[in-house]
Amino acid sequence: MGTLKIGVMGAGRGLGLAENFLLQGCKLIAVCDNRPERLQNAKNRFGEGIIYCDNFGQFIEQDIDAVILANFFHEHAPYAIECLKRGIHVFSECISNGTMAEGVELVRAAERSSAVYFLAENYPQMLFNLEMKRVCDSGTLGKVLFAEGEYNHPVAPTDTAFLKTFNYFEKHWRHYLPRAYYITHSLGPVMHITGATPRRLTAFSIFAPLSAEATTASQVGDAATAIMMQNDDGSVFRVFGCARFGAHENSYRICGTNGQIENVRGCGNKVLLRYNGWQVPEGMKEVQQYEPDWHDRDEQLIRSSGHGGGDFITARLFLDCIRSGELPEHPFNVYSATVMSSVAILAHRSVMNGGQACDIPDFHSEADRKLFENDQESPFYREDGTAPTIPCCSHPDYRANPAQLERYRSVMTDGKNTSDEVL
């Protein structure tokens, strides 16, 4: 296989992802974004000789083998489907589909395509999560019974630079993001470590709005959503989407019949491995706390990569699939990706229905697909301006108050520049 030619859809987060592909011998052909300042930023970063497009129609006609989709969180599926129809490989950042119907259409497109679909979920590739998978795969924990994952990302209410960078207009998806939806950073790692697939869920949100003095346009008053899942192997997961507890962290724990392993909260890459006193494996200790090593041929490149090395490794896994012709492993393939999106979407519905349990479809099954092929319910504004069809908060009548909005609008028009490295 020759040099892989890539295009980037979304010149914020997408540019950082592109760097990891260039480090692995790929060639950047085209960058697409509808914001002129971001295209200029891309040009400043990568120079001439690259095609810079402000619309997808022009972008998709370029001579590209693979596309990095780093556009808005909930708008990946339509672009992924068009790429797959053309035989273009897809590296899709975060959630695979914003609606259940999009998930159905995405899976059908992937099954008809010769191209690889890969969910670019990078948190499973963090060092402590790779170590937890290694230990879990060794079998010393026994049968896995329970796992939990938390992605916790509070933001200071006075951080107006964050607002201007990440939430830069009132109908931005982050202002309408149900706490269950940003799911892959918490669910992806435990699915990868254990190999289990969620099949049924229930969820409850914690309603704790920002203070009346906050500067915000957010229409979501929930601080977190707790999701419990029964899996195909009988185990149970408990995860949060993007929560805002104090303090910032990502935390994971895997519990088996013989022992358990977790990353130590607030301690970098350290893990804590414990066994029952009567089931300690030969040569091991009952309790061990340690920082694992990479033992990876690309360690120096990994250490310089974003998200604890996860960006580089995730790109490498995608390229390995293209070169080998093999489908991505669990949970990066299209079936696992749509399961994660289904957990996000259905967990929010469970919240809105008082914790009512929901079955999670298996998108291998055409019978399951049929149940959701017309389900376009969404809490977000669509790309064409269509308004949300369902509430985004557990308290449906919650809104940012006029004073919060006035402060937000003032910040958005103060003329100070911010980073373009986001969505």
- Give this prediction's pTM: 0.95
Task: Give per-residue burial for 275-287: e unless 16+ CB within 10 Å, then b.
Answer: beeeebeeeeeee
Distance CA 69, CA 312 (A): 16
pLDDT digits (tens), the chain, 423 positions: 689 999 999 999 999 999 999 999 999 999 999 999 999 999 999 999 999 999 999 999 999 999 999 999 999 999 999 999 999 999 999 899 999 999 999 999 999 999 999 999 999 999 999 999 999 999 999 999 999 999 999 998 888 898 998 999 999 999 999 999 999 999 999 999 999 999 999 999 999 999 999 999 999 999 999 999 999 999 999 999 999 998 899 999 999 999 999 999 999 999 999 999 999 999 999 999 999 999 999 999 999 888 888 999 999 999 999 999 999 999 999 999 999 999 999 999 999 999 999 999 999 999 999 999 999 999 999 999 999 999 999 999 999 999 999 999 999 998 665 544 455
Instruction: Sketch out the chain's domains with CATH numbers.
Output: 5-122 (3.40.50.720), 124-306+334-372 (3.30.360.10)
Q: Is the peptide bond before 247 cis (omega within 30 degrees of 0)?
A: yes
- Give the closest residue to 189 by CA, choosing from 298, 310, 289, 272: 310
pLDDT at 417: 53
pLDDT at 411: 94
| Alpha carbon 17 to chain centroid, angstroms | 14
What are the structure tokens assigned to 265, written together? 């909260």
What's the start-to-end Cα distance of the chain, in Å?
32
Distance CA 330, CA 109 (A): 19
pLDDT at 415: 67
DSSP 8-state code for residue 420: -
pLDDT at 308: 85
* Residues paired with residue 413 on neighbouring β-strands, in sequence order: none
Distance CA 94, CA 91 (A): 10
CB-CB contact of 179 with 242 (8 Å): yes
- 40 sits in the region (left: phi over 0; alpha: psi -120 to 50; else beta) called alpha
pLDDT at 414: 82
pLDDT at 420: 45
